[in-house]
Amino acid sequence: MNVWQYLLCITGLSIGVCATAQSKNEVSMYVGGGVSTLLYSSSALRSSYDPGGHVGVGYTFFFTPQWGIGTGAELALLSAKASFSSLSDAYNANDGSDDIIFHYTVYDYSEKIQMYSVNIPLMLYFRSPVSPSMTFYAGLGGKVSIPLQSEVEGTMPRAATAGYYPAYHADLHMPAFRGFGTFEQLKLSGAPAFAMSYLASVETGVQWRLSSDWSVYTGIYVDYGLTSMVDETQDKPFIPYNETAWNVNPVSYYNSVLVAQYDRNAPAVDRFTPAYAETATGRLQAIAGNVTALAAGLKVKVVFGSSGEKKHCLPCLRYELDLRGTKKK
């Protein structure tokens, strides 16, 4: 199933359940939008808060006039950007005949990620009427996020690479067909693998009753990821050295920061020294680290069905009695 098929399924489900709305039941269609992005725990990356949102259908059963439990299904879009000004790494490799330490520095890198997912919420709701047409509400719970499809696009304006040969105590910055030199305007495109993740969710706002069977909720929401979304081991070099590509540029491809690691103690390519090579590599660290989701914004929900709170609404009753007394005067 692609994203549009899931969207059609959610729309069809909402149409079907609307016809079954009864007392104490609320069936809804909703849309939310604002920030929907990824958070990276590593200090190596800068992240931005990009726009995204979701559309879905929900069902809430109120087991008391104030408390209810709800679930549903929603299609969510997440957008994220990650960048760094420079990053250096070094690791052992082989050029086809000799062992080397391949080292590089990447400058001004950025990548953009888009991901669609199906979220299954489970929420506990509280409401408190304040007038015949307005009710305060708040919800707390969680969501299971199931990834559908994703894509990543990266841009590497410049990368400088070299190979240190311990046997000859030589550090080569050329030739290019061995993967040594300065390379510009490298591109990445692919489909990163994301895992099922869990989100903590909270929302609050006001319900506006239009009639006995129709109402509109307006409010704000926040979804915060509790588990990492990356489905692969983050142990790949950001720029892999291709020892078999004698006549092909070995740095014409690279890995997303989502799955790559680097030696955080490696010096820049123009500061690499034999002394560093003899002390072996430093501590390895995932470039992205723990990757979690963050979504927040405005939410509008159209509700079908009478949940029966009006007859239990003391402020509403007082308002109606006051209104009757005014009319008699």
pLDDT per residue over 239-273, tens digit each?
A: 988 766 545 555 667 889 999 999 988 999 999 98
Q: Is the pLDDT of residue 313 over 90?
A: no
Q: Is the pLDDT of residue 282 over 70?
A: no
Pair of tokens at residue 224: 């915060």
**What b/e sequence results for 282-300 when a residue is b if at least 16 CB atoms lie within 10 Å of its CB, and e otherwise?**
eeebbbbbebbbbbbbebe
Counting beta carbons within 10 angstroms of the beta carbon of residue 173, is it exposed (0 to 12), middle (13 to 18) or buried (19 or more)?
A: middle
Q: Is the pLDDT of residue 104 over 90?
A: yes
pLDDT at 283: 79
Q: Is the pLDDT of residue 82 over 60?
A: yes
Tokens 């550090």, residue? Answer: 171
pLDDT at 97: 85
Could you tell me the sign of the dihedral formed by the alpha carbons of 191, 195, 201, 207, in that order?
Answer: positive
pLDDT per residue over 16-39, tens digit each?
A: 444 343 458 899 999 999 999 999
How far apart CA 214 and CA 321 sit, in angstroms, is: 24
The mean per-residue pLDDT over the stretch 209-219 comes to 88
pLDDT at 241: 87
The mean per-residue pLDDT over the stretch 89-110 comes to 91
The mean per-residue pLDDT over the stretch 292-309 comes to 83
CATH classification of the domain holding 231: 2.40.160.20
How far apart CA 297 and CA 52 sit, in angstroms, is: 9
Name the more confident of 116 and 282: 116
Counting beta carbons within 10 angstroms of the beta carbon of residue 16, is it exposed (0 to 12), middle (13 to 18) or buried (19 or more)?
A: exposed
- Picking from 43, 101, 24, the residue whose alpha carbon sits closest to that of residue 310 is 24
pLDDT at 214: 87
Distance of CA 43 to the CA centre of its chain: 18
- Picking from 191, 235, 222, 305, the residue whose alpha carbon sits closest to that of residue 91 is 235
Residue 193: strand pairing partners: none
pLDDT per residue over 136-191, tens digit each?
A: 999 999 999 999 999 999 999 999 999 999 999 999 998 887 888 888 888 888 88
The mean per-residue pLDDT over the stretch 3-23 comes to 44
Beta strands in the chain (DSSP E): 25-40, 46-49, 51-62, 67-94, 99-131, 134-165, 170-172, 181-190, 197-209, 214-225, 236-237, 260-263, 284-286, 291-304
Domain count for the chain: 1
The mean per-residue pLDDT over the stretch 119-126 comes to 97
Give percent of the chain above pLDDT 90: 58
In the chain, the amino acid numbered 107 is Y
The mean per-residue pLDDT over the stretch 43-62 comes to 92
pLDDT at 232: 85
How far apart CA 124 and CA 69 sit, in angstroms, is: 5
Q: Is the pLDDT of residue 52 over 90?
A: yes
Range of the domain at 273: 3-328
Transcribe 179-221 into DSSP letters. Answer: T-EEEEEEEEEE---B--EEEEEEEEEEEEE-SSSEEEEEEEE
Residue 217: strand pairing partners: 207, 301
The mean per-residue pLDDT over the stretch 200-204 comes to 97
Q: Is the pLDDT of residue 89 over 60?
A: yes
Q: Is the pLDDT of residue 212 over 80?
A: no
How far apart CA 95 and CA 186 sit, in angstroms, is: 22
pLDDT band of 311, cuts 50, 70, 90: very low
pLDDT at 326: 47
Output the average pLDDT for the chain.
84
Could you tell me the sign of the dihedral formed by the alpha carbons of 204, 206, 211, 215, in that order?
Answer: negative
In the chain, the amino acid numbered 309 is E
pLDDT at 12: 45
79, 50 in Cβ contact below 8 A?
yes
Neighbouring CB atoms inside 10 A of 12's CB total 11
pLDDT at 7: 45
130, 315 in Cβ contact below 8 A?
yes
Strand 197-209 to strand 46-49: parallel, antiparallel, or no bridges (unpaired)? unpaired
pLDDT at 278: 74
